[in-house]
Structure 1
Amino acid sequence: MTGSEERIRILEQQNRELLAENLRLKTSGRSENDSRDIREAAVEQVRQSNIRYQTIFENSLLGNKIISSDLKILQVNNTLVSMLGCKTKDELIGHHILEFSHPDYKADWQKLQEKLWRKNLPSFSLETCMVDKKGNDFWVSVTSILFTDDGGTLGFTIVENINERKLSQHNLLLRERWFRRMTDIMPQQVWSADASGNIRFVNNQSCAYFGCDEDELLINGWQDIIHPNDAGGCMTAWKHAIKTGSPFTYEFRLRNAGGYYHWFLSRAVPVIDDNQNTIWLGTNTDIDLQKAKETQKDEFLSIASHELKTPLTSLKLYNQLAAKNGSPDKKQEFIERSFSHIQRLERLISDLLDVSKINAGKMNYEIQPFEFNDMVTELTAIVQSTTTKHHIKVEINEPATVTGDKHRIEQVLNNYLANAIKYSPNANEVIICSKVVANNIVVSVQDHGIGISKDDLTKLFDRYYRADNAAMKFEGLGLGLYISAEVLKRHNGSLWIESEPGKGSIFYFILPLNGESLIQENGTDGHSYYYSNFLNINYNPEKYRLEADWVGYQNLESVKKGCMIMLDLLRKNNCSRVLNDNTKVMGNWSEAADWGAEYWFPAMVEAGLTRFAWIYSPSKFSQLAANKTLENVPNELQTRFFDNREEAEHWLNTSTLLN
């Protein structure tokens, strides 16, 4: 007799005994025939009950089993036999249930054993993973109910295969993770809202911009961080979109973690999910730079129309005067004056054409060696002939052979000299210095004019930009420095300015003599130090920090290369603090400021950076670039600027002790 048949026999016997006792009580005092009929009816009732039980147990679409308190299988139905990949019940009966449990989920059955038999709970449910005879794992939902018979307290267990549902949930979770990762690498803020307009999701870009976590944004919403002048119109447009189900599009300003407002273009569309619920998917795209460019473009068009119209009007006037006046001397005077305005038009048109070539990537360069000091001498003489008020003094002009486009580099120096004369109307001297420094030519042009404010310094190289204090006083489209910056960039050089309002300006540029890189590497062990002509890095094991000393003239190439080396050494030494010394830095690296803020600092934080002490360069232009780099650093990074190394080291040492 099998174990299952024996279990059924015991249950049937128990039922018979119970019914017999019940019948004995009911038939007391009745005739023998009546009592026999009642007993036979009771036996038949038990038999029918057992048949129904057996039918339900065996034919259930769910797996059924009876287990003992030691988790051995006493009885199973065919559904569970099939579910576990067996052929007969004997492959299961008498076996321990843990034999069919996934190795990672055996603790689930031990928990069931503890809850039911040790803590005497009437029932217990769980979701766990089982393994069939072929080694295939699958998810099941298990519910066990306690009951008692002569064999003790047993568990009647129902097993449901929920593998498809679990896989669906898993796939849904994977899709959600994929969606989050995808939105986190997007440059836009990504968000979603429910049918009522309540924000339900924001990506990491949103949290980084606002300087708070996702929960704060979901609770507080965006109403308080929209610019007050834009909030009313934005909310009206948003409510209209929700009411009508039409796409939402609006431009507004949002306040970032530093308290500054940026322009954003917000777009959202309604989407109906599987449950027929409406959700809104939206993005906020930073268009602040685009807005600024549009403003500059409008200002440029206004200035350009004025600048082009003025010489044309003068030409027309002088031609009319020459036509009406018959005197040969007067005609000659009008022709000469007309010629000066023709030259002015040529310069304006030439600048416009150069910008067009730069934008199209079609600026041509004729690279060949030339004597730089001869070019300075020749150009100075030409420019001097155009002015009688200013004396152009060549203070230093060291011999140097430069490989580059002589005409384009001459164009840069000519722009410097023209600006120096133009913006120093009350002065009478312009000073040129040209000297060789470590295989580079460094040129400066100094005036004693109106000077440039701190806020305007870094903007002067933007296309169409001119300092506010000069825009309506002096002629020009504001393209000269932009073109100069592009020319020098193509020669692996850079330019910068030192200026003070009311005291004049010094415009600099640097070029490598060979027209190639400024970088000269001197050595590294790939782990604890790096030496070059622009940067020295050492790992200080006693202070657990990197110490970086930047030296000389920097540009985009040197800053990027040095920063990536610093990132590599930070990772290899597993340190979290950096002493960044710019005391010996000269020149401009403002082109790298945005790159440092957007890419390098986040990468350093991810590598473990927590404290960054930055010692200022004496160059104001370099200081401005440093400030710009740290405008939007990650919140978890602590940074501070210093004027000397002692204070910077003290701050880092103190922070190390505190932590």
Structure 2
Amino acid sequence: MANSEERIQLLEHQNRELLAENLRLKTSGRQENDKRDIHDAAVEQLRQSNIRYRTVFENSLLGNKIISPDLKILQVNSALVKMLGCSSKDDLIGHHIIDFAHPDYKADWQILQEKLWRKNLPSFKLETCMVAKNGQEFWVSVTSILFTDDGGPLGFTILENIDKKKRSVNNLILREKWFREMTDIMPQQVWAADDEGNYSFVNSQSCAYFGRTEDELLTNGWQDMIHPEDKDSYLQAWGQALKTGRPLTFELRLKNKSGYYHWFLNRAVPIRDGQANLWLGTNTDIDLQKAKERQKDEFLSIASHELKTPLTSLKLYSQLAIKTNDADKKQDFVKRSVSHIHRLERLIADLLDVSKINAGKMSYEIERFKFDDMVSELAANMQSTTLKHRIKVERNDPAKLEGDRHRLEQVLNNLLSNAIKYSPEADEIVLESKVVDGNVIVSVKDYGIGISKDDLTKLFERYYRADNAAMKFEGLGLGLYISAEILKRHNGSLWIESEPGSGSTFFFILPLQGNSLLKEFGTDGQTFYDSNFIKINYVADRQWLEAEWIGYQNLESVKKGCMIMLNLLIKNKCSQVLNDNSQVMGNWSEASDWGAEYWFPAMTEAGLRKFAWIYSASAFSQMSANKSLENAPGDLQTVFFHNRQDAEEWLNRAD
């Protein structure tokens, strides 16, 4: 095939022949002269066109070339020579353009060849990466146009260096990715909106809290999750901020995917973007801070009330003792005054303990002592203070325990005092202390007024977090809070079982050696695990894990059992778990946060999709289970059951 230079030379030869023919036609008359003039004009137009083509082709700032169907370069301009780092056009003419393609992008030119020639498209565009002669990589935008001359089809190709633009776009993509990853690891909800309040970005924390997808939040927002009491005032404040362009700070309650409201600090600041504002906002969970504020107010209210009562009585009896001359009455008034002084002493001691707990300065003197001796002595001492109630010690197993005897006496004394106080119509208190699997478990049962389910839930919330200081329930005072804190510092826990009108049983558990005795009986590392606190099996025909928890659980046992379950879930690539808590006793609330924040997200990432949870009979254990799932991942299906049959039927049911 002739190259373009040869074709131009051919055209010039044809022009010379036409000029010679014109000379012969001079004598042919007027008609022939007209033909000659028309022909001369056409030839001149063609010559001028070729000159313009050469000028545009050569002087273009973009790289121009003509290629053959096999991608050989037939003609190039100086801009392309410079772009590819060559010294002259001879370095390119006759070579394949694919020789300058980046190794990872050679296929782009094959696609161009396929589209332009084999599918006969009139034009084709692509962005690809090339490598100059000096090894420098750069991005180009390629536009190829198919045309045909006497020698057959050719491709006219324009290359524009877009390296700076491409890298700028890539940098923006990387920055957006970095921004998203950064906001996803932040503990706050992060969002963005335009100047009309339409959301354009939400981070993963927002989706996890509300249990909604990113698209759902971008489309519908989270206004319907605002507490009814806060909604109107917040929307008014947000609308005013959009109107004025001033930053917004607002406290409101937002409902999570489990239906619970948490207090949030909502902040939004405008960022000027051209003529419009882009709003960047955060929702920060301040529920714990709000709770502390409420607790502080309650603490002051309790303290003032509790101090006022004995002080008023002390003042009254002191005045009566001063006024009377009757020696017997005076002595009685003094005795009554002394009893109120003792009450004040106990109250002040409790208030000081609460203050120490909040400051983290509660001190403990750990020693090894006979726990059963402490129980017997305390029961006898308490019996001497009451004539109406008989304190019956039904069981007191021998046990040596490492702990602070004085503080643990304080716990048991508080439970016995409350049992007497809140069973005024009964005459018996039952005390038990038994040793089970390296733990001592103490129970104090009364036959008094009992506690309702709602109030039991409030009590659980009170002990669920160690910093719920000074919350008071139905006159139970500060003693139970202090007791729960003392037990926690001994790696123990407190729980309550109660029925209104039938009395209450207060329990606590303490490890004898300072930590639980977890015993492993056997495992193959793949399909089963057997121990004294959990049994796990992979059921191959149903492709799920079965976990049966046993006895009294705490943070240590829950963490260990859960991590074994995670390992077996990954190894067997299953997505369903039957979690049986029917044999669990007590309260393991100290592990609830860990389960919600770490374990359930890890299980979901490992492939868990359906989690059937069989409740324990213990009310506090049920509440611990509910807390564990309060902030579980939104794409995890979790359902609680009271029997195994219903749980299995749900797992077997197709999604």
Same fold (TM over 0.5): yes
Distance 1:263 1:493 in 2: 30
Please tell me whether the aligned partners of residues 16 and 46 of structure 1 are also in contact (alpha carbons under 8 angstroms).
no
Query: Which residue does the alignment assign to 1:459?
Result: 461
Distance 1:261 1:23 in 2: 102
Distance 1:334 1:27 in 2: 156
Question: Which residue identity does 2:546 align to in structure 1?
Answer: E
Deviation at 1:74, TM superposition (A): 0.7
Please tell me whether the aligned partners of residues 321 and 329 of structure 2 are also in contact (alpha carbons under 8 angstroms).
yes
Change (3 A) 1:482 1:153: same
Question: Which residue identity does 2:270 align to in structure 1?
Answer: P
Question: Which residue identity does 2:130 align to in structure 1?
Answer: M
Does 1:397 find its partner at 2:396?
A: yes
Does 1:78 find its partner at 2:78?
A: yes
Deviation at 1:287, TM superposition (A): 2.9
- The higher relative CO (CA closer than 8 Å, separation ≥ 6) is in 2
Range moving further from structure 2, 366-375 or 389-398: 389-398
- Counterparts of 1:193-272 in structure 2, within 5 Å, are 193-272=193-272
Please tell me whether the aligned partners of residues 492 and 516 of structure 1 are also in contact (alpha carbons under 8 angstroms).
yes
Distance 1:179 1:21 in 2: 76
Query: Which residue does the alignment assign to 1:63?
Result: 63
Question: TM-score, normalised to structure 2's length?
Answer: 0.91
Distance 2:14 2:344 in 1: 116
Change (3 A) 1:423 1:312: same
Range moving further from structure 2, 129-138 or 34-43: 34-43
Range moving further from structure 2, 516-525 or 357-366: 516-525
Query: Which residue does the alignment assign to 2:372?
Result: 373
Deviations 1:25-79 (A, max 9, x none): 9997459999999988877765555444333322322111111122211111222
Deviation at 1:239, TM superposition (A): 1.6
Change (3 A) 1:28 1:374: farther
Deviation at 1:14, TM superposition (A): 7.2
Q: Match of 1:614, SS?
A: strand
Please tell me whether the aligned partners of residues 81 and 87 of structure 2 are also in contact (alpha carbons under 8 angstroms).
yes
- Counterparts of 1:87-102 in structure 2, within 5 Å, are 87-102=87-102
Distance 1:173 1:259 in 2: 36
- Counterparts of 1:422-501 in structure 2, within 5 Å, are 422-457=421-456, 458-461=460-463, 462-467=468-473, 470=474, 474=475, 477=477, 479-501=478-500
Range moving further from structure 2, 278-287 or 54-63: 54-63
Q: Match of 1:582, SS?
A: strand
Query: Which residue does the alignment assign to 1:362?
Result: 361
Deviations 1:316-360 (A, max 9, x none): 222323333344433332332222222222222222222222222
- Counterparts of 1:122-201 in structure 2, within 5 Å, are 122-201=122-201
Distance 2:27 2:203 in 1: 79
Report the number of matched residues.
Answer: 647
Please tell me whether the aligned partners of residues 439 and 516 of structure 2 are also in contact (alpha carbons under 8 angstroms).
no
Which consecutive residues of structure 1, in runs of 5 or more, have no partner in the other structure? none
Question: Which residue identity does 2:255 align to in structure 1?
Answer: R
Range moving further from structure 2, 90-99 or 5-14: 5-14
Q: Match of 1:65, SS?
A: strand
Deviation at 1:89, TM superposition (A): 1.9
- Counterparts of 1:588-607 in structure 2, within 5 Å, are 588-607=587-606
Distance 1:58 1:210 in 2: 62
Distance 2:298 2:342 in 1: 24
Deviation at 1:531, TM superposition (A): 2.7
Distance 1:309 1:394 in 2: 36
Deviation at 1:204, TM superposition (A): 1.8
Deviation at 1:82, TM superposition (A): 2.2
Please tell me whether the aligned partners of residues 25 and 36 of structure 2 are also in contact (alpha carbons under 8 angstroms).
no
Q: Match of 1:580, SS?
A: strand
Distance 1:28 1:416 in 2: 135
Deviation at 1:417, TM superposition (A): 1.0
Deviation at 1:632, TM superposition (A): 4.1
Range moving further from structure 2, 302-311 or 7-16: 7-16
Deviation at 1:247, TM superposition (A): 0.5
Which consecutive residues of structure 2, in runs of 5 or more, have no partner in the other structure? none
Please tell me whether the aligned partners of residues 576 and 609 of structure 2 are also in contact (alpha carbons under 8 angstroms).
yes
Please tell me whether the aligned partners of residues 554 and 587 of structure 1 are also in contact (alpha carbons under 8 angstroms).
yes
Change (3 A) 1:159 1:18: farther
Query: Which residue does the alignment assign to 1:614?
Result: 613
Distance 1:566 1:498 in 2: 29
Q: Match of 1:269, SS?
A: strand
Q: Match of 1:459, SS?
A: helix
Change (3 A) 1:646 1:120: closer
Range moving further from structure 2, 294-303 or 333-342: 294-303
Change (3 A) 1:293 1:199: same
Range moving further from structure 2, 248-257 or 496-505: 248-257
Range moving further from structure 2, 393-402 or 116-125: 116-125
Question: Which residue identity does 2:638 align to in structure 1?
Answer: T
Query: Which residue does the alignment assign to 1:623?
Result: 622
Question: Which residue identity does 2:162 align to in structure 1?
Answer: I
Deviation at 1:301, TM superposition (A): 2.2
Change (3 A) 1:329 1:86: same
Q: Match of 1:543, SS?
A: coil
Please tell me whether the aligned partners of residues 189 and 282 of structure 2 are also in contact (alpha carbons under 8 angstroms).
yes
Question: Which residue identity does 1:88 align to in structure 2?
Answer: S
Distance 2:29 2:427 in 1: 142
Q: Match of 1:201, SS?
A: strand
Query: Which residue does the alignment assign to 1:560?
Result: 559
Q: Match of 1:636, SS?
A: coil
Please tell me whether the aligned partners of residues 101 and 129 of structure 1 are also in contact (alpha carbons under 8 angstroms).
yes
Range moving further from structure 2, 505-514 or 17-26: 17-26
Distance 2:255 2:23 in 1: 86
Distance 1:21 1:257 in 2: 93
Please tell me whether the aligned partners of residues 23 and 38 of structure 1 are also in contact (alpha carbons under 8 angstroms).
no
Distance 1:207 1:26 in 2: 90
Distance 1:179 1:19 in 2: 72
Q: Match of 1:238, SS?
A: helix
Deviations 1:565-594 (A, max 9, x none): 211221122111112122221221122223
Deviations 1:406-449 (A, max 9, x none): 11111111111121122222222211101111221111000111
Change (3 A) 1:495 1:29: farther
Distance 2:23 2:53 in 1: 22
Query: Which residue does the alignment assign to 1:385?
Result: 384
Distance 1:486 1:401 in 2: 21
Deviation at 1:497, TM superposition (A): 1.2
Change (3 A) 1:157 1:6: same
Q: Match of 2:461, SS?
A: coil
Q: Match of 2:305, SS?
A: helix
Distance 1:620 1:553 in 2: 14
Please tell me whether the aligned partners of residues 460 and 481 of structure 1 are also in contact (alpha carbons under 8 angstroms).
no
Deviations 1:238-278 (A, max 9, x none): 121112111111222333334443332211000123x4542
Percentage of matched positions with identical amino acids: 72
Question: Which residue identity does 1:245 align to in structure 2?
Answer: G
Q: Match of 1:465, SS?
A: coil
Change (3 A) 1:416 1:49: same
Please tell me whether the aligned partners of residues 302 and 470 of structure 2 are also in contact (alpha carbons under 8 angstroms).
no
Query: Which residue does the alignment assign to 1:641?
Result: 640
Please tell me whether the aligned partners of residues 492 and 518 of structure 1 are also in contact (alpha carbons under 8 angstroms).
no
Deviation at 1:24, TM superposition (A): 11
Please tell me whether the aligned partners of residues 264 and 288 of structure 1 are also in contact (alpha carbons under 8 angstroms).
yes
Q: Match of 2:525, SS?
A: coil
Question: Which residue identity does 1:85 align to in structure 2?
Answer: G
Distance 2:13 2:294 in 1: 96
